[in-house]
Structure 1
Amino acid sequence: MGEAADSLVLDLVEWIAREPRPYSEVIAAWRTSCPRLTIWEDAVDSGYVVRATGAMVVVTEDGRQWLRAHGRLS
């Protein structure tokens, strides 16, 4: 991931960390048609978020640690 993509992935993970979100809401808010901005895919591939039961998206423990390391979660 590049620096801009890292920042956007941080924003996405932080947004989901506030409260679990329905998958449809996450995709509606974060889907992009630009092949160079794969924010949702990067967050999933990095193991920071997962699609849990009931079609909810939640932050993983790795995602929480990543947010803490970047000062986005206490």
Structure 2
Amino acid sequence: MTDTLVPLICDLLEWLDRQPRTYAEVMDGWRTSCPRLPVWEEATDKGYVKREGQLVLVTNRGRVFLEHSR
């Protein structure tokens, strides 16, 4: 993961942790076609977020990453 992605992934995790967000909300705000900024893809690949029905939630692993990255 590049140094550029770490703060962006932290922003995503903090945003998700503030209140429940639907998958549609997350995709509207965080999906990108830029191959250099795959924030959503990295967060899901690393297991930092998970889908439960229509909601996207921060996992325990995501909280640990956030704690160690800030």
Q: Same fold (TM over 0.5)?
A: yes
Runs of 4+, deviation exceeding 3 Å: none
User: How many pairs does the alignment contain?
Assistant: 70
Q: Structure 1 regions of 5+ residues with no counterpart?
A: none
Shift of 1:66: 1.3
- TM-score when scaled to structure 1? 0.87
**Counterpart in 2 of 1:47?**
47
Shift of 1:41: 0.5
- TM-score when scaled to structure 2? 0.91
**How much is the aligned-residue C-alpha RMSD, in angstroms?**
1.0
1:1-74 alignment to 2 at 5 Å?
1-53=1-53, 55-71=54-70
Q: Structure 2 regions of 5+ residues with no counterpart?
A: none
1:14-66 per-position Cα deviation (integer Å, ceiling 9, x unaligned): 1101112100000000111211211001000010001112x100000111111
